[in-house]
Amino acid sequence: MVMQNPGSGEECFECTQPAPSNIVIFGATGDLAKRKLLPSLLRMVQFGLLDPRSRIIGIVRNDSDQWVEFVRSALLDYSSLAKSGIDIAPFLQMLHPVEGDLEESETYQGILRTLQRHEDQVNALFYCAIPPGWYTCVAHHLGASGLIAENEGYRRLVIEKPFGRDLESAQKVNRELWRVMDESQIYRIDHYLGKESVQNLFVFRFANSLLEPLWNRNYIDHVQISAAETLGVEYRAPYYEKAGALRDMIQSHLMQVMTLVAMEPPTDFSANDIRDEKVKVLRAVRPIALDAVEKVALAAQYASGRGGDGKPLAAYCTEPGVAADSSTETFAAVKFYIDNWRWQGVPFLLWSGKRMEKRVSEVMIRFRQPPHNLFEGGEPPISNALIFRLQPDEGMFLRMNAKQPGLTTRMQRLVMKAPYQSQDGDMYDAYEILLHDVLLGEASLFSRADEVEESWKIIHPILEKWEESFSLPRYRAGTWDVPGMDQLLNDCLYGWHKPT
């Protein structure tokens, strides 16, 4: 779904207000609810993406009377709208706390009673803003209490990544969810796919005829998809110690972006057709042999260093909650090959790291170099590059060669810029877009079970190999100095592209 800027004063393109719904949040006092969900729901009401007759039902362990105050405080801390002084009282009136423990059947009976209080509001969206280990418990109770049955209105379950820890656990979660609900009711949310710039990859590829003839192995040398962060592990150490950069970023976010770059045109703009083409890409990824992992994958961990402001940065293994001998990777890179007609022989490098020099995420399409240099006496033309900036400063950049002014044939590089964000307001947040899609039943931007399982299958040999390793190379925090990256990209024109 593509929507106009909410601050532009223009109507949204295909911006349909969904029917009223009961939005049930498990983990209603957690960090995700506080920082993302509640501010997003407020904006959705403000901009017509959520019917104000909807109810927001928060499941809290105790002190249900305090939940409204918790929400008020969260909005004042994390919502730009609330900070701007808008009246949030109407939004607070949409709140309905239900007290109980996730393991107790009485909690779900309380949810059922709350839903039945308004017979004209029959739809329900269940959002699991809880650790993944609780997903199957919640699903089981929803099924046992009859809450997931679509006798009246829809019933949709939203779960956050990680969707399993490996292939076996992902398959187990899927089987448990299917025991009580249909795959069409499950929305595996990945906020990366809600970014305007990521969605634009799809539109850019299939709504323009200019570059489609070039979008193949004959003209593209390689593709680099990156996600660099300046932050360290912060408060996420308990999760990150079990995950690492490969699971946290590459298996989910970046492999999803790769499928959008590499997929064939779907027959139409339907969720299943789009996801069918994404699965075809994953199934075409060249299997990685266990003894070849070191040739296509790299892991590293940040050591101490200094930030851009000169302040010292601690090493990962000295961060609170991190084991002193931790072998968790904070930087991961994998070079994939997609063995099909379009992409045979074209490397796709996916990499992500914490405590890098800059916070930036990009998709860079590096085109092949001109086959012959006509301009003797000067340097050969630099190959063209098309860059999709995912964050920050979302937009597209096309690097071209042009003649320098004056009596010379020397060349200079020009960068054509096309920013997404207009000057008169902010774009919709990823969670606003994705929640709106769930309410409409639009699943294009959500992972299907076979997508998840295929991605785990691809990286399984890497995980298996890395689990045997007890030491990692280190890179200085606040830099791009990652050992081994140049060697990993030895078959890519110009090597590692460090986003600037």
Catalytic positions, please? 253
Which residue stretches of 66-156 are H helix?
Answer: 67-78, 80-83, 89-92, 105-116, 135-144
Q: Specify whether the CB–CB gap between 404 and 375 falls below 8 A.
A: no
Amino acid identity, position 287? P
> In angstroms, rounded to a whole number, what is the distance separating the alpha carbons of residues 355 and 166?
26
480: nearest Cα among 228, 148, 206: 228
User: Is the separation of the CB atoms in 418 and 395 below 8 Å?
Assistant: yes
For the range 288-293, what are the long-range contacts, defined as Cβ-Cβ under 8 Å and sequence gap of 24 or more?
A: 288/458, 288/459, 288/461, 288/462, 289/461, 290/461, 290/464, 290/465, 293/461, 293/462, 293/465, 293/466
What is the number of alpha carbons within 13 Å of residue 101 lying toward its C-beta? 2
- Using an 8 Å Cβ cutoff, are 329 and 246 in contact? yes
Give 226's strand partners.
351, 362
DSSP letters, 442-498, are --TTSB-HHHHHHHHHHHHHHHHHHTT-----EEETTS---TTHHHHTTTSTTS---
Residue 290 DSSP one-character state: G
Query: Quick one: tokens of 16?
Result: 């349909």
Q: Which residues contact 351 (CB under 8 A, 6 or more apart)?
A: 224, 225, 226, 227, 250, 254, 331, 332, 333, 334, 485
CA distance 126 to 58: 10
The residue with tokens 């590829």 is: 205
